[in-house]
Structure 1
């Protein structure tokens, strides 16, 4: 008999996991305390932008394998319960807020049927899973808990769920591993690497991976600072070291740094937890990683002042991009929006464009000006900032749009545009980590 799955929390992670598991043939029921979110998902509407997810959601709802509920008791018939709730930073601190995880565990513990398995996918501080398992067994001795961290990239979440590059499971019994292998049987047939770990290691894998990626991004941004000081070119440097198989070329694109709902909060929560464990010194380097990342934003603002004036009052600046990365409408800790807000606070007249993230950006920074069309954004601009590397921006024709702006100056905050093409079209082109003379 096929396993029936439940997914607790239907945000970015939960909605994606539910739709993908249904597409693998499982009967899946998604649960959330947010009634408006459940109503939207039940109509095959996703309350955020993620390529391919809405189509997959509609297919699985139509098939009858995927349903959503606001009543947690509806999950009682499920064999496996995936906890996919958020773990944001606590207000006023770096630690992770575990209230949603704890609430999910308390709610599900009483209705897990004998032999049922609760599986955490949320990113949590090491040691959380063991405490949750103890609590689960105290409430329901015939249940068990495992940890199966997610490694989703926004913009590629469906692909990463259906075709993961590895599966990590933290389990305390062979039976829990057997059940999870049944869930991921399709992936195992494709020879997806399977890593069995204890609970603490499974938790650490996610934060260690994110810390490494953050380190790599901040490293190349630190090298960009050195390139600027010495007259070097960060794009050539990155290309050269990227050929080394020990290093690789991914995440070596210097620019305004990382943002979003994962990397910033995860490395900060990791530092907070390490300090609690008495291992503060082991991860103190992450403080500098965080500082380098934030410094990249200030360096863009410095370039703006160099090209316009120390006094930005009344200067018209066009910003291309609001999301923290392309193919997403996520503006959490977005470097693009942070830079835009700081420049406007300095007196500039800022207009922001983004193909998907304007609605979210307006909620976060309602004081900024937003435009629905790129041409409207560029009109009479004295400087253009390219801050999110959407394809539509990379494909802009610098010759055609030059007539729209007052002064043809562009700062490429992502090192993603063709510098020579823009300069040939008569633009003054600037970027972090590259020689900024004509």
Structure 2
């Protein structure tokens, strides 16, 4: 499946600066190459959320999906252009119920970011924010790891599996979890 690609505003801004520089120097093919990096990044986010939908039997309508992580990278509360925003927005378009946990991002920030891309009533109705990953995963059909927080590596996934809907799936968008161990608990894993 491949991991999600970069998020955050700085790297994309820097790549777009390269595009501008190349265009101003009349290096069209080089500019196109760098623009392709941006396009592939956006495509990969959409591909990841499409994979979630496909593996949950081609519908996520009214299914609870726990999203682990909202920041664009670990050890920050920065959400600018986070992959979580794009993935959650797509899942909300498909009427999934989203349950989010991030150790640093506030509920206010999450809701504000999502309301920039989705109707506020959809965010209010379909998004729940938790201060505990176990609560976020309880009753979920799937877990989606979006940010590579270290704590996600050490959660008790056997305990989590027992509280989820079955078949339970994990989509590890950051390639940080032990897939074999997760499968031994009964998870369907995608990384």
Give TM-score scaled by structure 2 length. 0.87
CA distance in 1, matches of 2:27, 2:47: 32
| Superposition map of 1:265-276 within 5 A | 265-276=13-24
| Superposition map of 1:188-199 within 5 A | none
| Superposition map of 1:373-384 within 5 A | 373-384=132-143
Structure 2 partner of 1:362: 111
> Quick check: 1:287 aligned with 2:35?
yes
Greater CA radius of gyration, 1 or 2? Answer: 1
CA distance in 1, matches of 2:160, 2:29: 51
Give TM-score scaled by structure 1 length. 0.39
CA shift at 1:342, angstroms?
Answer: 1.1
CA distance in 2, matches of 1:310, 1:406: 17
Query: Which of 93, 109, 119 matches 1:345?
Result: 93
Structure 1 partner of 2:118: none
User: Is residue 330–residue 360 contact of structure 1 (8 Å, CA) maintained in 2?
Assistant: no
Structure 2 partner of 1:409: 169
Structure 2 partner of 1:116: none
User: Is residue 62–residue 97 contact of structure 2 (8 Å, CA) maintained in 1?
Assistant: yes
| Superposition map of 1:289-438 within 5 A | 289-358=37-106, 359-366=108-115, 367=123, 368-407=127-166, 408-431=168-191
User: Is residue 353–residue 370 contact of structure 1 (8 Å, CA) maintained in 2?
Assistant: yes
CA distance in 2, matches of 1:354, 1:362: 13
SS of alignment partner, residue 140 of structure 2? coil
Q: Structure 1: give runs of 5+ residues left out of the alignment.
A: 1-227, 229-253, 432-438
Corresponding residue pairs, total: 179
CA distance in 1, matches of 2:35, 2:8: 18
User: Is residue 141–residue 164 contact of structure 2 (8 Å, CA) maintained in 1?
Assistant: yes
Cα shift readout 1:49-108 (whole Å, capped 9, x = no counterpart) = xxxxxxxxxxxxxxxxxxxxxxxxxxxxxxxxxxxxxxxxxxxxxxxxxxxxxxxxxxxx
SS of alignment partner, residue 365 of structure 1? helix
Q: Runs of 4+ in structure 1 displaced over 4 angstroms?
A: none
RMSD, aligned α-carbons: 1.6
| Superposition map of 1:26-425 within 5 A | 254-358=2-106, 359-366=108-115, 367=123, 368-407=127-166, 408-425=168-185
